[in-house]
Every structure is written in C-alpha cells, then in structure tokens.
Amino acid sequence: NAGVTQTPKFQVLKTGQSMTLQCAQDMNHEYMSWYRQDPGMGLRLIHYSVGAGITDQGEVPNGYNVSRSTTEDFPLRLLSAAPSQTSVYFCASSYGQGTGNTIYFGEGSWLTVV
Amino acid sequence: AQSVTQLGSHVSVSEGALVLLRCNYSSSVPPYLFWYVQYPNQGLQLLLKYTTGATLVKGINGFEAEFKKSETSFHLTKPSAHMSDAAEYFCAVSRLSGGYQKVTFGTGTKLQVIP
C-alpha cells in the first residue's frame, strides 16, 4: 500500500527555472493538498483540491500552479523559481467531505533554489 | 477563525522522563484536534486525534492527549520517554469550511531525548 508518493526527493534549481513536483495517492481520496515547511513556521498550505478538475488557493499560492486531472494525481508547478521557494514540500491527501479526517502525507521533497 | 499555539519550539527530556508538549487552540466552533509526528527526513504521520466523545485520547507509541475545553488546550503526554521519540511534533486544529476540512497547524515542537 503506497499511500502518498511524491517525487523527486531532492532537487536543486537555478533562479528562474521551472519544475514540477509530482504527487500521487492510491487511497481514492477526494482531497489533496500541497504544503511547504519552513523552520519556525510549521506547515503552510499552498494549494488544495477537493476533486478532479477542482483546485483552489491556500495560504501561500504565489509562484505555484496546480492542476487535478485525475483523482490520483496532483502535481505542483513552480513557474519561475526564486530563492524564497527553497523549502521542503509535502503533498497530502484525505477523505473529502467533513472534518476530523486524518491527513496522509508524502515523504517530502527538498527543494533548493540557487 | 482558528489558530494553534505550541509552547516551546524545543523540548529536551531525559530518557525515561515524562514527556509534556503543550498545545493551545483558538476556534470559534467546536474543534477537531490532532497531533502529528515527523521523524527526521520523513513526512508527518498521525499520532492521535480528538473528534467527539471521550476527552482523553490515546494514540500510538504510548502517547495520549487530553482535550480541555475550559483551558482551550490539547497537551500531549507520554509517561516515559524513549530515544525513538525524538522527532518534531505538530498540533493541528480543523473545522468545516465549505463542506471540507480546513486544517491549521502549529509551528511544531522538536523533542530531544537525552540518554
């Protein structure tokens, strides 16, 4: 049972480059999201999706783009990388409606922008 | 609106000592509360959660937390720390927003266990 799988694990980008962080889940979860984790700031929500074809902005969406063409996949695109986007990125999924649902996280992607 | 405050970004305990990680929340509606644990270089995983019912919640690895509405707290405890408990712990609160859950995480507490 793979759960939430995200790739790559590590990436170094030059300022201005673009890239896509891949995320897939095999639990048939409606709700998927991307967080970034920075020291002393906890996890901040970038974008989320409540189902295929439906996405919305979170707390820190600028510089990122997402799409949700299938239930399983939720890629995160960095349009033009900036040093401020150096962070650890986590993809997560959970059952859709209601609250109190457990969130399942991927292993993380360490991104450095130089 | 909702928020979570974790008191102490770093906590050190001796192996075998009591672990107490503090979490206070603010929520305009009855909260759902979580503790997640993150081991080095890994994603977060659920430790325990409070939804409704019993206010003392037991989780994995001997951890438990008590929901105290009057104190707006959800502190995490473990009677005896083990070296393997060294990790970062996140408290979180969720509520319904547009039919889906909106989760707010605290800033985390790193637990160091001293042999």
Residue B30 has pLDDT above 90, yes or no: no
Distances (CA, A) of A53 to A19, A22, A67: 21, 17, 7
Are the C-beta atoms of residues B78 and B64 closer than 8 Å to each other? yes
Averaged pLDDT, A80-92: 97
Give B-chain residues touching A50 at CB under 8 angstroms. 100
Whole-number percent of chain A with pLDDT over 90: 89
DSSP for chain A, please give it: ---EEEE-SEEEE-TT--EEEEEEESS--SEEEEEEEETTTEEEEEEEEEETTEEEE-SS-TTEEE--SSSSB--EEESS--GGG-EEEEEEEE-SBBSSPPPEE---EEEEE-
Q: How confident is the model at residue B96 (pLDDT cuts 50, 70, 90)?
A: confident
Cβ–Cβ of A4/B106 closer than 8 Å?
A: no
Query: Among all chains, which residue has been given the structure tokens 């969720």?
Result: B94
- DSSP H or E stretch at residue A75: none
C-alpha distances (whole Å) from A79 to each of A22, B4, B20 are 14, 31, 42
Q: Is the pLDDT of residue A1 over 80?
A: no
Q: Do B101 and A100 touch (CB under 8 A)?
A: yes
For residue B52, what pLDDT is reported? Answer: 83
Measure in Å the smallest separation between the Cα of B14 and chain A Cα atoms: 24
Interface membership of B32 toward A (CB under 8 Å): yes
CA atoms within 13 A on the CB side of A80: 2
| Distance between CA atoms of residues B115 and B104, nearest Å | 33
Is a pLDDT exceeding 90 seen at residue B73?
yes
B100 touches chain A (CB under 8 A): yes
Tokens representing A9 are 């694990």
State whether residue B83 is helix, strand or coil: helix
Measured between alpha carbons, how far is A80 from A83 in angstroms, rounded to an integer? 10
What is the per-residue pLDDT for B80?
97
Nearest-by-Cβ selection for A99 from B32, B90, B105: B32
Q: Strand runs (DSSP E) across chain B, as ranges?
A: 2-7, 10-14, 19-27, 32-38, 44-50, 56-58, 64-68, 73-78, 87-97, 100-105, 109-114
The verdict on a CB contact (< 8 Å) between B44 and A99 is no
